[in-house]
Structure 1
Amino acid sequence: MQQWDFWLNQLFWLNTAIVLTVTLVSYLILRSLIGILSKRLATWAAGRQNKFYGFAVEMLRRTSRFLLFAFSLLLGLKLIELTPKWEDTLSHGWFIVLALQVALWVDTGVRLWTQNLLFSSDSPRNPVTTTLISILARILIWSVMLLSILANLGVNITALVASLGVGGIAVALAVQTLLSDMFASLSIGVDKPFEIGDFVVFGSVAGSIEHIGLKTTRIRSLSGEQIVCANSELLKQTLHNYKRMEQRRIVFKFGITYDTPADKVREVAALVARVIKAIPDTRFDRAHFQSFGDYQLTFEVVYYVLSSDYNKYMDIQQEINLGLLQGLKELEVKFAFPTRSLEFVGGQFPDIKVAGLQAENPPASSGEARQEKGPRRMP
């Protein structure tokens, strides 16, 4: 009889009808509002080419229908009178639903952000580093969400966090080499000291970056072989990145003979300036008669190549050398070359045998004889 009284209780059916009606109406209204807002944001994103609106649209579309229905149900239950125990349960339900939905939205935002970094045409990022950042960020989001829900339910998370910390330290000690390389890879991706395609030189290694992995970086050397270097070890090196060199400073020297008149020495510096300024993609800095060398008057020249291309630099240097060769010939100025003088004082020259015959050499007087090494001129 009491069982029939429960089912014939009009208040029960009235509360049930209220809850169902409010739940369905709230669910439909919330779905409609989210759909309208998504369309508006999609229109703004298409018109203004703004990535923020595109992210917002995708995040709204990630709204869970189940969580939306649960939220609508909680709204309906709020309109009827419940026991204190159920009221307390509903208060936890509000927090759980909102925490899960916010975590879904933020997770979607992180995923879209990392995908944008990965496939951006302006500055594509290293896929390994970008994926690692995405995984770490999403793990952090869901961990915070889970701990906040447990704390809201009254669970003492202090001991749990402490246990996780001790376990994390033990794991970190066991795989510290791997973690060191992983965080080095993350540092390379964030700080970007070099990227795929950059030409780098460190130690005895010179080559182009082919791949930046989770543990190692692979470099294609000039001689053709692939060099594999641990990320942590690579960051310890002093590394020269030549691809980011906007201009190349060149210093070179040449010498002219000591018998060059002073007025022509002055003309040589002007000649160097004219030759370099006439070549495109160069900027002349200076050309000076620097010093008196052992066998030459030494000139030092400084100029800039406005490109990082090594082959282009060599082409320019070749043109400069040819220009100097032609210009000095027109000025009747000679390039210096190494010479050595031998002084022989007193005594006699040694006998020289040629093809078994003894050649007669006149005896040397107390004077001196000199022998010069260098190119011999024909009369």
Structure 2
Amino acid sequence: MPFFQHLIAHNSAETVWLALALGGGLFLLLVTLRRFIRSRLAARARESSYRLYALVVELLAATRGWMLAAVSVLVAGMNLDLPGSLETLLSRVVMALLFLQCGLWGNGAVRAWLGRRQQEQRERGDGDSITSMALLGFIARLALWSVVLILMLDQLGFNVTALVASLGIGGVAVALAVQNILGDLFASLSIALDKPFVVGDFIIVGDVLGTVEYVGLKTTRIRSLSGEQVVMSNADLLGSRIRNYKRMQERRIVFNFGIGHDTPADKVARLPQVLRRIVESQDEVRFDRAHFQGFGAAALNFEVVYYVLVADFNRYMDVQQAINLELLRHLNAEGIAVSLPASRMQLVEGAAASADAGVAAAALAQPSRP
């Protein structure tokens, strides 16, 4: 064969045997090194929470023997005088295999990252987001292998320009046809990654307030306070302002009340300290301030600010009720009247005259009694 004739004619026997020994020795060295490093790092990964160990173990597991053999053959061939066409073919094949190996490494990295995120979601009980994460992994793998396939075909001598152009035109057409679905899909991925809320959170979106029950690929379902289920598209949901009360750490409370204008000044001056004592006597509460705010039309107005140190709304209402009762007992004991807003009617002179004229006309229109 021409290849063997060229090999024998342009290379000595010692050179051929040296190249074979070099290629075989390099292959055995790479296989042994891969096994040794993988076993050592696997033990480290089990003993440590350092995630890089697990990632390197995953990448070493994805390293194939044929890739190590291809590298060994390429190194051995570099020490021989080979035909130009064979050298070109060998380098192209090795590069194609290298791209394939890169795809396997990328796939292993995606699998390791996806597995870690899904494990975290299972530990939090967020099972609905696992579907979105699986879809994200599928999209990442699809993009990765598409690039790998194009690079391999290019190395093997295929003209990929027309293929890339057709894929681009087809992708634009598909994107235009399903742009609403893709918008909701990517919004779902954004929710899964950014986590503005998870299942079980109480949120307010526009005029909708309720508990998140399910986060899907296209819609999110919220159980409102009145009992019905509200279904919202993910794109509309992310386009709105979301208020997540489940992540509230403390609640700031401001309440006002008024007392009568005839309350003595010394009692008014003592009332902020009384309010401080009442608020601080409650559990899980931090007092901020209490002030005689000003003179109102019907009352002397007070403003009180405090913090409830838990997010539970029922706990806040219990605290506010206890404060109101203690405040009412103190006001009753001191003889201080709670002032209510008064309804007043004021008639200007012209309006009063018109009203009197209307009353007189109505009296004249009535029939006279016998």
TM-score band by shorter chain is 0.7 to 0.9
Residues 105-116 of structure 1: matches in 2 within 5 Å?
105-116=105-116
Q: Is the 1:257–1:297 Cα contact (8 Å) retained in structure 2?
A: yes
Between 177-186 and 116-125, report the one with greater CA deviation. Answer: 116-125
Q: Which residue of 2 aligns with 1:372?
A: none
TM-score of the aligned structures, taking structure 1 as reference length: 0.79
Quote the Cα distance in structure 2 between the aligned partners of 1:194 and 1:54.
29
AA of the residue aligned to 2:336: V
CA-CA distance at 1:288 after TM superposition: 2.1
Residues 157-236 of structure 1: matches in 2 within 5 Å?
157-236=160-239
Q: Is the 1:41–1:54 Cα contact (8 Å) retained in structure 2?
A: yes
Identity of aligned residues (%): 44
Q: Is the 1:117–1:124 Cα contact (8 Å) retained in structure 2?
A: no
How many residues align? The count is 336
CA-CA distance at 1:24 after TM superposition: 5.2
CA-CA distance at 1:79 after TM superposition: 5.0
AA of the residue aligned to 1:205: V
Q: Which residue of 2 aligns with 1:298?
A: 301
Quote the Cα distance in structure 1 between the aligned partners of 2:216 and 2:97.
39
CA-CA distance at 1:243 after TM superposition: 1.4
Which of residues 250, 253, 257 in structure 1 aligns to 2:260?
Answer: 257
Q: Is the 1:181–1:214 Cα contact (8 Å) retained in structure 2?
A: yes
Q: Which residue of 2 aligns with 1:266?
A: 269
Between Structure 1 and Structure 2, which shows a larger proportion of strand residues?
1
Q: Secondary structure at the match of 1:279?
A: coil
Q: Is the 1:133–1:186 Cα contact (8 Å) retained in structure 2?
A: yes
Which of residues 329, 335, 340 in structure 1 aligns to 2:338?
Answer: 335
Cα distance change on mapping 1:10 and 1:90 into 2, 3 Å: closer
Q: Secondary structure at the match of 1:120?
A: helix
Higher relative contact order (CA 8 A, sep 6+): 2
Cα distance change on mapping 1:340 and 1:232 into 2, 3 Å: closer
CA-CA distance at 1:156 after TM superposition: 3.5
TM-score of the aligned structures, taking structure 2 as reference length: 0.80
Q: Which residue of 1 aligns with 2:31?
A: 31
CA-CA distance at 1:61 after TM superposition: 1.4
AA of the residue aligned to 1:259: D
Which of residues 298, 308, 313 in structure 2 aligns to 1:310?
Answer: 313
Cα distance change on mapping 1:86 and 1:312 into 2, 3 Å: same
Q: Which residue of 2 aligns with 1:238?
A: 241
Cα distance change on mapping 1:340 and 1:24 into 2, 3 Å: closer
Q: Is 1:86 matched up with 2:86?
A: yes
Quote the Cα distance in structure 1 between the aligned partners of 2:343 and 2:142.
76
Between 31-40 and 146-155, report the one with greater CA deviation. Answer: 146-155
Q: Which residue of 1 aligns with 2:59?
A: 59
User: Which consecutive unaligned segments of at least 5 residues does structure 1 have?
Assistant: 343-379
AA of the residue aligned to 1:63: T
Q: Which residue of 1 aligns with 2:352?
A: none
AA of the residue aligned to 2:259: I
Quote the Cα distance in structure 2 between the aligned partners of 1:271 and 1:333.
13
CA-CA distance at 1:339 after TM superposition: 6.0
AA of the residue aligned to 2:210: G
CA-CA distance at 1:184 after TM superposition: 1.3
Q: Which residue of 2 aligns with 1:346?
A: none
Between 75-84 and 290-299, report the one with greater CA deviation. Answer: 75-84
Cα distance change on mapping 1:341 and 1:78 into 2, 3 Å: closer
Decide which structure has the larger Cα Rg and report it: 1
AA of the residue aligned to 1:311: N
Between 295-304 and 305-314, report the one with greater CA deviation. Answer: 295-304
CA-CA distance at 1:334 after TM superposition: 2.5
Quote the Cα distance in structure 2 between the aligned partners of 1:255 and 1:307.
28
AA of the residue aligned to 1:33: L
Quote the Cα distance in structure 1 between the aligned partners of 2:10 and 2:82.
12
Between 14-23 and 84-93, report the one with greater CA deviation. Answer: 14-23
Deviations 1:333-378 (A, max 9, x none): 2223456799xxxxxxxxxxxxxxxxxxxxxxxxxxxxxxxxxxxx
Quote the Cα distance in structure 2 between the aligned partners of 1:219 and 1:228.
6
Between Structure 1 and Structure 2, which shows a larger proportion of helix residues?
2
Quote the Cα distance in structure 1 between the aligned partners of 2:205 and 2:258.
33
Q: Is the 2:220–2:233 Cα contact (8 Å) retained in structure 1?
A: yes
Q: Is the 2:93–2:155 Cα contact (8 Å) retained in structure 1?
A: no
Quote the Cα distance in structure 1 between the aligned partners of 2:132 and 2:148.
24
Q: Which residue of 2 aligns with 1:325?
A: 328
Q: Is 1:97 matched up with 2:100?
A: no
Q: Secondary structure at the match of 1:224?
A: coil
CA-CA distance at 1:60 after TM superposition: 0.5
Q: Secondary structure at the match of 2:323?
A: helix
Quote the Cα distance in structure 2 between the aligned partners of 1:160 and 1:123.
44
Cα distance change on mapping 1:157 and 1:279 into 2, 3 Å: same
Quote the Cα distance in structure 1 between the aligned partners of 2:229 and 2:87.
67
AA of the residue aligned to 2:255: F
Quote the Cα distance in structure 1 between the aligned partners of 2:65 and 2:86.
24
Q: Which residue of 2 aligns with 1:287?
A: 290
